[in-house]
Amino acid sequence: MNLDNIDLTLLKLLQEDATLNNKELSLKLHLSVAATHERVKKLKSRGYIKKTVAILDRDKIGLGLISFPQVFLKSHTFEVLQEFEREVSKFPEVMECYQIAGSYDFMLRIVTKDMDAYNVFLRHKLSLLPHVNTIHTYFVLSEVKNVTAYSLE
């Protein structure tokens, strides 16, 4: 599906505020409600819109520490990589997990209440996974930029 300017504008609007209903979107797009509904439906069915979520204020819900562990594995077979990915994905503290090309194997974004909670996560979960060799962790001192919207220009 090739995205036209209306589709791109629609995606931008929904990234900014996914609570906009079809009527509100149609007014901003200068389309009928039905046409807007069809476009949203098509963007969802073709996977451009994966899901709609509420973004919470992590400080208000008591999750004040962000950390980025770099994980080095002992082995790099297909089975080992797959097992690590499957097991680390089960932990609620893991917000993101990326396999990385370079000097380490995976980078995680972990969110916990505080340093004590991270220590519990590290000692009782992450470091106990099979095939984990070394973990180097970086802690966020301040959040300079945190966006969820992709640039569509």
Contact between residue 122 and residue 112 where contact means Cβ atoms under 8 Å apart: no
Fold of 5-45: Arc Repressor Mutant, subunit A (1.10.10)
Within the chain, strands assigned E span 65-73, 94-99, 106-112, 132-139
* CATH architecture, range 65-139: 2-Layer Sandwich (3.30)
The Cα–Cα gap between 112 and 93 comes to: 6
Average of pLDDT values for 78-90?
98
Q: What is the pLDDT of residues 121-134, one digit of tens each?
A: 999 999 999 999 99
pLDDT value of position 1: 67
pLDDT band at 36 (very low <50, low <70, confident <90, very high): very high
Delimit the domains of the chain by residue range: 5-45, 65-139
The three-state secondary structure class of 114 is coil
Burial of 40 (0-12, 13-18, 19+ CB in 10 A): buried
